[in-house]
Amino acid sequence: MFNVNIIARRKIFYIFSGTLFLASIILFLLWGLKFGIDFTGGALLEVEFPSSRPPISELQNRIQPLGVGSAQFSPSGDRGLLMRLRDVDEPTHQNLLNALAGVKDKTERDAVVREKQFSTIGPVIGKELAQRSIWALCTVLLLIVLYIAWAFRKISKPVSSWKFGVIAVVALLHDVFLPTGVFVVLGKLWGVEVDTLFVTAILTILGFSVHDTIVVFDRIRENLKKSSFAAVRTKEGFEQVVNESLNQTIVRSVNTSFVVLLTLAAIFLFGGESVRYFSLALMLGVVFGTYSSIFIASPLLVTWHNYSLRKTIS
């Protein structure tokens, strides 16, 4: 078992996380996320070439006369290509395939390029998806607070059960905003877009993070029951119980997260372009979620308890 006084060093973790959190919010307000066609509307075309993929610059020159506006190209594997552009009709769709193949005849085109998928989403549907995604995130956060308050209902002293839920949500916001800040930078510098898979990753992060936090909180609950009320009522006694609980669970949390990261790393490296940034978002969420469960959530519980004590004394 570890024997590190994490609680005594909590201000260091607050400063580190606060800096990253504030930077993420500022970058989000300044640059915003680069939304994909799932939210803005448009078309997604994926093709595969039989031998080697032509240079992106050459493909851009081929489609320029079609007047489809700005298009984004993303290589997929050695021969594949993902193309994102504004919504197009069926004749333009066929002209795009001909242009990518560098031919005018459909029969000849089929031997040069193979279409793997083509999908379109209107702007109205994209807006509706964005609204539903926000509602989904808010609903999950509310349900998490209610569940944790109910699960820890038998602990009323020295910390009320609802405080566990509030602190868990604060940690979740930390775990959501930090990966979002990374994707803001990726979108600004490298044109990485967020789509419904990103929302799925965020919801998955919420589930993983709250699970990790509850594991630590549950150990705190068990140790509080074993300790006398007079002991945990004091500042030093409560800090000791929380710190012991962290040391008892830190190895389990880190080992579990490490195994998950190995799986996600394999998906990131070998899963293909379509799931690469989905797995990256999950990897970031696992790292930040494990960190916040140990170094943010439980220390915040101690800080809140100490503040309540000072308020009671004064």
**How many other CB atoms are there within 10 angstroms of residue 137's CB atom?**
16
Tokens for 256, please give them: 């579990």
> Which amino acid, 188?
K
> Which amino acid, 44?
L
Q: Over the stretch 54-103, which tens digit does the pLDDT of each residue have?
A: 888 888 888 888 877 777 787 877 788 888 887 788 888 888 888 888 87
The domains of the chain, with CATH numbers, are 7-35+125-313 (1.20.1640.10), 42-121 (3.30.70.3400)
Q: Are 144 and 213 in contact (CB under 8 A)?
A: no
Cα separations in angstroms, 240 against 118, 158, 246, 265: 59, 14, 10, 37
**Band (8; pLDDT cuts 50, 70, 90):** very high
What pLDDT was estimated at residue 139?
85
The dihedrals phi and psi of 47, each to the nearest 5 degrees, come to -130, 165
Q: Over the stretch 182-211, which tens digit does the pLDDT of each residue have?
A: 999 999 998 888 888 898 898 899 888 888
Look at residue 165 and tell me whether its pLDDT is greater than 70.
yes
In what order do the strands lie in the sheet containing 42-48? 72-76, 80-85, 42-48, 114-121
Task: Provide CB contacts within 8 A for 100, sequence distance 6+.
Answer: 47, 59, 62, 63, 81, 83, 113
Q: Which of 167, 312, 294, 290 is nearest to 242 (CA)?
A: 294
What pLDDT was estimated at residue 250?
92
Look at residue 130 and tell me whether its pLDDT is greater than 80.
no
* Nearest-angstrom CA–CA distance, 140 and 169: 10
**Band (233; pLDDT cuts 50, 70, 90):** low
Q: Are 151 and 217 in contact (CB under 8 A)?
A: no
Q: Are 173 and 166 in contact (CB under 8 A)?
A: no
What pLDDT was estimated at residue 305?
87
* Nearest-angstrom CA–CA distance, 245 and 248: 5
